[in-house]
Structure 1
Amino acid sequence: MASLLIKNARNIITMDKEKNQYPGGSIYIEGQEIIAIGKDIPYEAADTVIDAHGKIVYPGLINTHHHLYQTFTRNIPWAQDCELFDWLLALYDIWRYLRPEDVYLSAMVGLGELLKSGCTTAADHFYVFPNGVSGELIDEEIRAASDLGIRFFPTRGSMSLGRSQGGLPPDEVVQTEDTILKDTMRVIEKYHDDSKFSMVRVGVAPCSPFSVSKDLLTQSAVLARSYGVRMHTHLAETHDEDQFCKERLGLRPLELMEETGWVGNDVWYAHGIYFNKEEIIKIGSCGCGVAHCPSSNMKLASGTFPIMDMLKAGVKVGLGVDGSASNDASSMLLELKVMNLLHKLQHGSTALSAEDCLHIATRGSSKVLGWEDGIGSLEVGKAADLFMVDSTRLEFAGALYNDTTLPILTGTSQVDTTIVGGKVVVKDGHLVGINERELAAKAQKASLRMVETASKYRKVNYRKLRERQQVIPY
């Protein structure tokens, strides 16, 4: 079992229950586990020793909602300046051309960005399975996570309600409910590991009320609980969703969840903007969690998450960057800054501090994922998931007065070191063992192929778009 000693840190920000800090402290790790942490620990040697002089150590950030496959549709001109339903309709035409290699490469890019922003655990919601393409696409994301060394929580998403049945997505990207349930069982049985230091946990995740049937929601809940895995879906994200549920089902979104078994402490929703106060109290009392995705909600003009009401009601709240195409980045540190600023604007300057935001992105997110025994803080017995920033960097000059809030308030988007389970996966700001320029070139080539294929059916001048590409040879 390999050992690692991080010593002489400028500070260690633990985010444990007492919010302990250890200026000049050290951390000793064996395998994935933190064995000792503090100012004077009885360990002076290890297989690997990192002198962290000048570095500030933080618990790894936990992303509770993402769509990694969307990495290849960022900054698409005709998908800007529109709200969720129109945005989806524009991008479904590109996503239908996903191939297995696209899913792998997009996950490599998205997860790589997350690691470089201090994220050590990422949940992903994959739900687009184009007709005629391998159904084992989520496997490609899991392969990418393994290659990068990030702790991963993929959720097997699904869409069964195509346009011909009154849903939003085109029929070309939906599956039959029998196919969905069978493959969900396959993914759980093949990959799910609920151990404390697992590198892969699997969830069940029908996409949304406007893309799946009530029957699929019900069957998915039964299936998930038969395997003891967690459940995830989009909910209460927009007024359009609320109107869809009322007109088609005669229910509010949360009422739909209650009728289909989608409430409980094993459930977390993405977004949760349009719950009323009574529903927020109900969600808190039954133990549901919510992934807060501030940048995406702002970009798509969806609304503002009622975070203070949620926290007051005891709702488990975590942070998510959401799909790369509705954020155009996969940076958890950037998301932390956006969250902090957004809620100062919404609730007042003293409502939610930068330290509160860090708590939500670490301990809060770990509770949302049901993983608080292993991740979310730096303390003995937990996983050695952490990131470090070098306080001597130029962008921190004049800002070294509060180590806890430093990377949030200064808006840095990149860390110096990321460690997952005791293994260094980002060193000096770069992914370990990955040729980033080669990966970027392959990814851009794959993205352009998808966009150009879609262009055959759209009235868009892609020739000029191609002329702007600066693809790096590889």
Structure 2
Amino acid sequence: MTAHVSPTERIVIENCAVATVDAAGTEYAAGHIVVAGNLIEAVGPGPAPAVEGVTRRIDAEGHLATPGLVNTHHHFYQWLTRGLAQNSGLFDWLVELYPTWARIDEPMVYAAAAGSLAVMVRGGVTTAMDHHYVFPRGAGDLLGAEIRAAAEIGVRFTATRGSMDRGESDGGLPPDFAVESTEDALLATEQAIDTHHDPSFGSMLRIAAAPCSPFSVSTELLREAAVLARRKGVRLHTHGSETVEEEKFCHELFGMGPTDYFESTGWLGDDVWMAHCVHMNDADIAAFARTGTGVAHCPSSNARLAAGIARVPAMLAAGVPVGLGVDGTASNESGELHTELRNALLINRLGGGVRALTARQALRLGTYGGAQVLGRAAEIGSLEPGKLADLVLWKLDGIGHASIADPVAALVLGPAAPVTLSLVNGVPVVDHGHLTRTDEQALAHLTRTEARRLSAIAGLH
């Protein structure tokens, strides 16, 4: 496979196993990749063809090359509240943590975003996403803090401007002091789109509209956010069908289940993706398939909060786009996406039997599936000529993996594999196992300092 482009600088990677995750699932036991500028120029078996302008040639023996991982759901700010509410289900967990989250400010969010992104990128994520919906008055530019952190680390980023306007006094779950007015939320969302959204091919930053959930957002905000997003040409994101309590809440308040409620407010479509979608019946899955609505599957968070097992095999069989999500690190303290490949496979087999999900399906969820969900499947998610050069070299010749002959199985079923090299847009963001743009120890100190400051302000210690 070769695409004809003519940048002057090329990176050649040879002598590695390659899992392209293209439509045919093409793999090479020993293959090559040629990166020209920010694009993949060639992928194939054996040595690379002779090309000019090679600035770096990598002998990647003992490695597996895959597309970069795509994270489709996260809450960066929660990096500062890991390890709390350890034995609570979703609603109790939220009630316990909302008062602390309502005290975040811009320096805290920057530190939390940088910490979250650093761990993900070091673990093979090349496209990150965040759902930020807590905006205390006077807290500063919280979305801008996340965007700054992503740009500094070098990751491709989908930032969503979240919102909550249904407080306790209106029958919602969050306390009144943690919500915005409907008008303020819509104005801020439009401003974020106008200021930051870049729809171009190869964009490093996109914005989506993301009211938080049915139990924290008014029907008016849901409807108007959908109208706004479509007027602006951006995607829509929210939480959906996460718990049985949410199902009960929707029936009591709206007289219908979450999927029917979302459809009534304009929230099903191929420009929409929802996090979790654990409690979906056959009709719900059919509605998502019919409309092209995507799902961010978060297996570790679902298990941590005992939300249940999402019916991912049934979704995939129906043609629903499904990607993987870390979710916030207050409900998935590892903060890593590459471990979700393994957890997705294992948890879905618990729910659906030994054939529910294969190692290659798990890898597809974390790469091409995520690209589909974020609306970027034409650009990223597979190793194909003409696509953006977002790729990862996983080291599989160490003690943890060397005895597994199948490299994809080694990556998915084995221990977390070290990342030797990660390219975003053809630029190394991880090299020889280390972040190229960030001092990890300094960042660890910053996140610890800001977590302690938040804890002190919230009166946790």
**TM-score normalised by L of structure 1:** 0.93
Which residue among 174, 182, 200 is the counterpart of 2:179?
A: 174
> CA contact under 8 A between 1:333 and 1:411: conserved in structure 2?
no
Q: Which segment is superposed worse, 331-340 or 45-54? A: 45-54
Which residue of structure 2 aligns with residue 66 of structure 1? 74
Which residue among 36, 48, 70 is the counterpart of 1:30?
A: 36
Give yes or no for the alignment of 1:98 onto 2:104.
Answer: yes
Deviation track 1:165-198 (CA, whole Å, cap 9, x = no partner) reads 2211112221111111111111111111122211
Which residue among 207, 211, 218 is the counterpart of 2:216?
A: 211
Deviation track 1:272-325 (CA, whole Å, cap 9, x = no partner) reads 111211121111111111111000001101111011221122111111111111
Q: Which segment is superposed worse, 185-194 or 211-220? A: 185-194
Give yes or no for the alignment of 1:395 onto 2:403.
Answer: no
Which residue of structure 1 aligns with residue 349 of structure 2? 344
> CA contact under 8 A between 2:401 and 2:415: conserved in structure 1?
no
In structure 1, what is the Cα distance between the partners aligned to 2:364 and 2:298?
A: 15
In structure 2, what is the Cα distance between the partners aligned to 1:388 and 1:116?
A: 11
In structure 2, what is the Cα distance between the partners aligned to 1:127 and 1:374?
A: 28
Which residue of structure 1 aligns with residue 128 of structure 2? 122
Which residue among 47, 60, 67 is the counterpart of 1:52?
A: 60
Deviation at 1:133, TM superposition (A): 1.7
> CA contact under 8 A between 2:129 and 2:157: conserved in structure 1?
yes
Which residue of structure 2 aligns with residue 267 of structure 1? 272
Q: Which amino acid is 1:133 matched to? A: A
Deviation track 1:244-269 (CA, whole Å, cap 9, x = no partner) reads 11112222111211111111111111
Deviation track 1:425-461 (CA, whole Å, cap 9, x = no partner) reads 0112211121111110111010011112212xx6xxx
Which residue of structure 1 aligns with residue 250 of structure 2? 245
In structure 2, what is the Cα distance between the partners aligned to 1:320 and 1:417?
A: 22
Which residue among 441, 447, 454 is the counterpart of 1:443?
A: 447
Deviation at 1:51, TM superposition (A): 2.9
> How is 1:191-230 mapped onto 2 (pairs within 5 angstroms)?
191-230=196-235
> CA contact under 8 A between 1:331 and 1:413: conserved in structure 2?
no
Which residue among 147, 155, 159 is the counterpart of 1:142?
A: 147
Q: Which amino acid is 2:59 matched to? A: D
> CA contact under 8 A between 1:59 and 1:386: conserved in structure 2?
yes
Q: Which amino acid is 1:75 matched to? A: G
In structure 2, what is the Cα distance between the partners aligned to 1:344 and 1:257?
A: 29
Q: Percent identity?
A: 42
Matched position secondary structure for 1:12: strand
> CA contact under 8 A between 1:5 and 1:26: conserved in structure 2?
no
Q: Which segment is superposed worse, 106-115 or 14-23? A: 14-23
Deviation at 1:31, TM superposition (A): 2.1
Which residue among 300, 308, 315 is the counterpart of 2:305?
A: 300
In structure 2, what is the Cα distance between the partners aligned to 1:36 and 1:313?
A: 33
Which residue of structure 1 aligns with residue 434 of structure 2? 430
Q: Which amino acid is 1:425 matched to? A: V
Which residue among 59, 79, 83 is the counterpart of 1:75?
A: 83
In structure 2, what is the Cα distance between the partners aligned to 1:302 and 1:204?
A: 25
Matched position secondary structure for 1:243: helix
Matched position secondary structure for 2:222: helix
> CA contact under 8 A between 1:233 and 1:270: conserved in structure 2?
yes
In structure 1, what is the Cα distance between the partners aligned to 2:178 and 2:58?
A: 48
How many residue pairs get matched? 453
Structure 1 243/165 Cα, relative in aligned 2: closer, same or farther at 3 Å? same
Deviation at 1:415, TM superposition (A): 1.7
Q: Which amino acid is 1:96 matched to? A: A
Which residue among 369, 372, 381 is the counterpart of 1:367?
A: 372
Q: Which amino acid is 1:269 matched to? A: M
Structure 1 233/146 Cα, relative in aligned 2: closer, same or farther at 3 Å? same
Deviation at 1:2, TM superposition (A): 6.2
Which residue of structure 2 aligns with residue 131 of structure 1? 137
Q: Which amino acid is 1:397 matched to? A: A
Q: Which segment is superposed worse, 88-97 or 14-23? A: 14-23
Give yes or no for the alignment of 1:41 onto 2:45.
Answer: no
> CA contact under 8 A between 1:9 and 1:57: conserved in structure 2?
no
In structure 1, what is the Cα distance between the partners aligned to 2:135 and 2:402?
A: 48
Deviation at 1:41, TM superposition (A): 2.2
Deviation track 1:386-438 (CA, whole Å, cap 9, x = no partner) reads 11122322222312x11122111112154222111100001122111211111
Unaligned runs of 5+ in 1: 463-474
> CA contact under 8 A between 1:160 and 1:175: conserved in structure 2?
yes
> CA contact under 8 A between 1:205 and 1:233: conserved in structure 2?
yes
In structure 2, what is the Cα distance between the partners aligned to 1:284 and 1:183?
A: 31
Unaligned runs of 5+ in 2: 1-6
> CA contact under 8 A between 1:153 and 1:202: conserved in structure 2?
yes
Q: Which segment is superposed worse, 276-285 or 31-40? A: 31-40
Matched position secondary structure for 1:24: strand
In structure 2, what is the Cα distance between the partners aligned to 1:408 and 1:155?
A: 29
Which residue of structure 1 aligns with residue 3 of structure 2? none
Which residue of structure 2 aligns with residue 404 of structure 1? 408
Q: Which amino acid is 1:378 matched to? A: L
Matched position secondary structure for 1:315: coil
Which residue among 279, 282, 291 is the counterpart of 1:277?
A: 282
Deviation at 1:137, TM superposition (A): 0.8
Deviation at 1:357, TM superposition (A): 0.5
Deviation at 1:30, TM superposition (A): 2.1
In structure 1, what is the Cα distance between the partners aligned to 2:15 and 2:104?
A: 44
